[in-house]
Amino acid sequence: MVMKGGLYLVYAFLLRTVLCRSENVAFTLGQTHHLYLSQGQQVTYDKVITNISAHFDHKGSFICRQPGIYAFHFFSLAHAESRIWFELYKNTEYICSVYGYTPHGYADTGNSALLHLNNNDTVSIRAHQAYNSTLYGTADQIYSTFTGVLLRSDVTEHSSGNMAFSVGLDHHFHATNGEIVRYNDLIVQNTAYNPLSGRFTAPTDGTYIFYYHGLAQGDQVLWLELYHNGEYVNAAYGYTDSSYADAGNSAILHLHTGDQVYVKARSGHAVDVYGTPNQVYATFSGTLLASVQHNTDDSRSENSFSVGLSHHFSGTNLIFDRVFSNRGGGYSPVTGHFTAKESGVYVFHFHALSRSDTEVWTELYHNYHYIDSLYGRSNGEYAAGSNAAVLDLVAGDTVFLKSRRSTNSYYGTTDQVYCTFSGYKLELEEEPSIGNPGEIIG
């Protein structure tokens, strides 16, 4: 085939357009059985909750086929009076950990990290090399999950490509006066996050999501709070007598250029966060979900919500009263349900804290179809739990949380918001597509 002059340029443009298109890559895997893992064994999952163009090897490691920035979330529940100690790896590089054990009940664990992946990079979860782990799971009680989402593909050319950061804490952190946590382990570096101040500064107007997790030092308190400028958003609390407590939270916020978001210790309380160079439990991550272009109707920012519970609650139908963001009005504060206004791939996060000596047992539903759960119970103590899921929704589908039992008791006050529910429609920025160029004859 011979192509001449401008015709060659047209062909090159068409070919580049097709090659530069981005497709959603997202998955959530779950474990439906109790699972014992020996030292260093890779965690496996027996249930595919959702898989949108994700690839895995025979060991269960995620394999990157579309380079870009990914978000990974992993959660597990330790069997009664048993230990979980898992680590997230990119290829052979250690990223972060979760640890859970309580002598008084079941320990829920979780963490999140953003990673930049190149083609054929792998991501896996493994048991710690020096300890065995035992996780809890049944067909209708899925607590252990592994979720991955392509947030931004390398093939896109957009100014928001540098809007993601992910950082960890590689040393112990002690605070008594509400100090800001200055995370120094740069997992995904971005100049918008300043490790000297611990603050993220929004480079542009838009809708952002943030995740933070931590582990208390032995027999100490973890009490971290997310702030937007000087305003309290929500918190993560953990304490386990004679052990280490895990907790985390997330939020979707609408920011203006120059707004700051950061994690700080609870003022007036001693807070002790665990961290060493090879044991990173405390993480803080964030990314732009949708930019706002002035004088335009940017529908990409109209498919997310983030809500919290600002009062104690007992019952089955969880309705959140604190609205952090509700772009497009998909979340109903009357029913507690999120209704998808557009078909697509959505990502959901949920967190809870029990009242003292009670349990929280929260389940995520898609059109009354059970997806996964969080659980928290530690005799005589407050217990935290978290989970996440990717769901492929059709316009009109509903997603909601409910308690497993009417006796479940959730902690919340106006300045102590631990129970949250957030979700967003996954949207990849991409070059315009004009289809298959077909055969060109010159």
Distance, CA of 338 to CA of 309 (rounded, Å) = 16
pLDDT of residue 14: 35
pLDDT exceeds cutoff 60 at 8? no
Exposed, middle or buried, 155 (CB in 10 Å: 0-12/13-18/19+)? middle
Higher pLDDT, 342 or 15: 342
Hey, what are 114's tokens? 């953003």
Q: Any idea what the Cα angle at residue 400 is, between residues 287 and 53, rounded to 5°?
A: 50
pLDDT band, very low/low/confident/very high, at 105 (cuts 50, 70, 90): confident
Distance, CA of 353 to CA of 349 (rounded, Å) = 14
pLDDT of residue 351: 98
* Among 236, 235, 239, CA closest to 216: 239
Other CB atoms within 10 A of residue 215 CB:
27
Q: Are the C-beta atoms of 440 and 5 separated by less than 8 Å?
A: no
pLDDT of residue 298: 47
**What SS3 state is found at 33?**
coil
Q: What is the mean pLDDT of the chain?
A: 89
Q: Are the C-beta atoms of 225 and 266 separated by less than 8 Å?
A: yes
For the stretch 254-313, pLDDT in tens is 999 999 999 999 999 999 999 999 999 999 999 999 987 544 444 444 699 999 999 999
pLDDT exceeds cutoff 90 at 425? yes
Other CB atoms within 10 A of residue 12 CB:
12
pLDDT exceeds cutoff 60 at 6? no
pLDDT exceeds cutoff 60 at 434? no
For the stretch 365-407, pLDDT in tens is 999 999 999 998 877 789 999 999 999 999 999 999 999 999 9
161-165 average pLDDT score: 79
Tell me the domains of the chain and their CATH numbers.
1-20+429-442 (no CATH), 302-425 (2.60.120.40)
pLDDT of residue 441: 31
pLDDT band, very low/low/confident/very high, at 440 (cuts 50, 70, 90): very low
pLDDT of residue 22: 56
In the chain, what percentage of residues exceed pLDDT 70? 88
For the stretch 31-70, pLDDT in tens is 999 999 999 999 999 999 999 999 999 999 999 999 999 9
**What SS3 state is found at 311?**
coil
pLDDT exceeds cutoff 90 at 23? no
For the stretch 114-146, pLDDT in tens is 999 999 999 999 999 999 999 999 999 999 999
pLDDT exceeds cutoff 50 at 189? yes
pLDDT of residue 162: 67
In the chain, what percentage of residues exceed pLDDT 90? 80
Distance, CA of 50 to CA of 195 (rounded, Å) = 35
pLDDT of residue 301: 44
pLDDT of residue 429: 55
Q: What's the pTM value of the predicted model, to 2 decimals?
A: 0.91
Hey, what are 20's tokens? 């530069």
Partnered with residue 193 across adjacent β-strands are: 200
Hey, what are 142's tokens? 């899925």
pLDDT band, very low/low/confident/very high, at 103 (cuts 50, 70, 90): confident
